[in-house]
Structure 1
Amino acid sequence: VTIKTFASPNLIEANKSRYMRFKAGHPFGFIEAFANLYDDIHRHINNHDSDFVFGVENALKDLRALTALQTSAKSGSWVMLDNTKGMTVAE
């Protein structure tokens, strides 16, 4: 078992001060996680400098994948996903 904490040297992003709003063991965190996400989105929109916000093309690929999952579940068969053309139900 490996225990990771904010002090772990390989957690470069997690060691930044913006993620250190509370002491360890504090019961909050959900709201702060969304605050960091919204801050990343804001930085990306204003400065295009966030590594954690992706463009419209990535969002469309994700939506196609989710739609394929739903179609596959409903049809009971594999769905071939082509990010350039959409999807087709496999025979």
Structure 2
Amino acid sequence: MSFLTGTLAGAVFAGGVYYSFSYRLRTEVVQYKSSLHRLSEEMIDPRSGVKLPAPAAERIAPAPFSALVKQQWNEQVGNTFRKVTEWRPRG
């Protein structure tokens, strides 16, 4: 009787090990299959899932203080130029 019990326990244990390995392999194969499908789709249409960073020109924000200084400078130079060109001697 103990021979039969030991054999049966060994068979159940071996079956459990086999089932756990086969289940793990099956789930990994499904994951690899879906991953390969996604990668092949990205190779066909590379822009579908790839998020590119913004171009450098869009990432650089103009400095507001320097823009204000430039604007004031241009207005003052423009006003001075207009005064010089509109100058007429009286007489």
TM-score range, shorter chain: under 0.3
> So what's the TM-score if we normalise by structure 1?
0.28
- Which has the larger share of helix? 2
- Which has the larger share of strand? 1
Greater relative contact order, per chain length (Cα 8 Å cut-off, separation 6+)? 1
Which structure has the greater CA radius of gyration? 2
